[in-house]
Amino acid sequence: MTSQRLAGFLLGAWVFGFVLVAVPLRAEGGEKAFTVCWWNIENFGVADRFIDGRYVASAMKPASEINAVVAILRKIHPDILGVAEVLREPQDRNLNLLRAVLRQGGLDYPAMATVHGSDPRIQVVLLSRFPIFSVEELNRDRFPVTLVSPQTGATEPAEFRVNRGFVLAQVEAAPGYRLGVMLAHLKSKKVEAGVLPEEPGETGDAVVRRKEAGVLRARAEDFLSRNPGEDLLVMGDLNDTEESRTLHVILDRSPLWALPLADWAGEMWTEIVYPKEARERIDYLLVNASLRQRFDSGAGASYLYRGRPEEGAGLDAATASDHRPLVARFRLGTQK
């Protein structure tokens, strides 16, 4: 089924049973607030995949998975949404499909930003109910590595680009209030055999991920220096755990702080790693000091999404993706 035909099918399927509600930018007691969400929605488009336990080449993301993505995001109802693994396509059919099914599900995001990195396959996308006033497509940053020949062991210096790029936007979440929002999807843990490890126990892919993390931190610090006093939110799949060198590069003596999000069972993992079904925390929401002061840590305000057993498979994140959504609410003050 093509993206266009699937879009028509899904839009028809989502018409019934919906009451579309506009959510105002305020919480109880007149306090203004906004909600953000980050989610790696796993191969949104045509890819080789397993469907009902069977390997299928070049298959569209199943309707059941797409419907679960929409149903879960309807439940969260974020004002600002960052997603990873929208599959790139020359006519942006997968990106357009995502926006269309979200809109049909009552989630209209008129503002959008993305970046095309050197990875021809996937991209990150920022969607916002609020206006986006500036966008930086950060896809030209380079870093040094050493390549090694597996046959001879000979080495040579080289430069890599940040594979998927970063997107950095300024979003006006309320009149007179703008914040920077940056999305990242760092190098996967797939083997990078041609890159020479630089530290004890390090693999080639970890070298690339660590150096991409250095670029990410430098870009975040540059934004804060150019925009003193402005809040900054970094959302991403960093493909590494909190004790890794990757996260130490980003967080040690840093202006950024990782929000301590957990689900209703107290667990903090964000990805299921198949086939062993290991669970790891590799997705993060990072904030600077001023945005941290706005963070609402109250129950039900900020959390790592986990469906309830009684809600069924349609609201189970595992139906939609191998990752789980991260959700945070930020206060803007009292509405007068």
Cβ(79)–Cβ(111) below 8 Å: no
- Please, where are the H alpha helices in the chain? 3-15, 63-76, 93-104, 204-226, 245-251, 289-294, 317-320
DSSP state for residue 163 in the 8-state scheme: S
pLDDT at 205: 97
Span 5-24, mean pLDDT?
A: 41
Q: What is the CA radius of gyration of the chain?
A: 20
CA dist 213 and 64 (Å) reads 34
Backbone angles phi, psi at 233, to 5 degrees: -120, 125
Exposed e or buried b for every residue in 196-229, given b needs 16+ CB within 10 A? beeeeeeebbbbbbbbbbebbbebbeebbeeeee
Q: Convert the pLDDT of each residue in 56-68 to its tens digit.
A: 999 999 999 999 9
**Measured distance CA(255)–CA(156) in Å, rounded:** 35
pLDDT at 30: 65
CA–CA dist 254, 251 (Å, integer): 5
Q: What is the pLDDT of residues 187-246, one digit of tens each?
A: 999 999 899 999 999 999 999 999 999 999 999 999 999 999 999 999 999 999 999 999
Cβ atoms within 10 Å of 36's Cβ, excluding its own: 25
- Mind giving me the DSSP string for 32-55? EEEEEEEEEEEEESEEEEEETTEE
Domain boundaries, the chain: 3-15+39-334
Q: What kind and span of H or E run contains 331?
A: strand 326-334
- Give the bridge partners for 172, in sequence order: 178
Give the pair of three-digit tokens for residue 297: 């840590």
Angle between helices 3-15 and 93-104 (to 10 degrees): 0
Rounded distance between C-alpha atoms, residue 227 and residue 1, angstroms: 46
- The pLDDT of 114-133, averaged and rounded, is 96
Q: Are 288 and 256 in contact (CB under 8 A)?
A: yes
Tokens of 250: 């980003």
Contact yes or no for 301/307 (Cβ under 8 A): no
Q: What is the pLDDT of residue 104?
A: 97
Token pair of 295 as six digits: 């963070």
Residue indicated by tokens 């579309």:
20
CATH of span 3-15+39-334: 3.60.10.10
The tokens for 218 are 């430098």
Tokens standing for residue 97 = 């499909």
Residues paired with residue 287 on neighbouring β-strands, in sequence order: 233, 257
pLDDT band of 14, cuts 50, 70, 90:
very low
Using DSSP, state whether 171 is helix, strand or coil. Answer: strand
**What's the pLDDT score for residue 87?**
98
Per-residue pLDDT at 6 exceeds 90:
no
Cα–Cα distance, 327 to 317 (Å, whole number): 13
Q: In 3D, which of 89, 113, 126, 130 has the Cα closest to residue 7?
A: 89
Tokens at 185, concatenated: 């999807």
Residue type at 1 in one-letter notation = M
Alpha carbons 291 and 45: distance in angstroms, whole number: 34
Model confidence at 334, pLDDT cuts 50, 70, 90, reads low
The answer, yes or no, to whether residue 260 has pLDDT greater than 90, is yes
The whole-number pLDDT of residue 13 equals 46
> Where does the pLDDT of residue 309 fall: very low under 50, low under 70, confident under 90, or very high at 90 and above?
very high
Determine the average pLDDT of the residues in 114-127: 96
Q: Tell me how far CA of residue 82 lies from CA of 57, 214, 239, in angstroms.
A: 27, 21, 16
Residues 94-120: what's their mean pLDDT? Answer: 97
- pLDDT value, residue 150: 87
Q: What are phi and psi of 76, to 5 degrees?
A: -75, -40
pLDDT, tens only, 17-76:
333 333 445 455 567 999 999 999 999 999 999 998 899 999 999 999 999 999 999 999
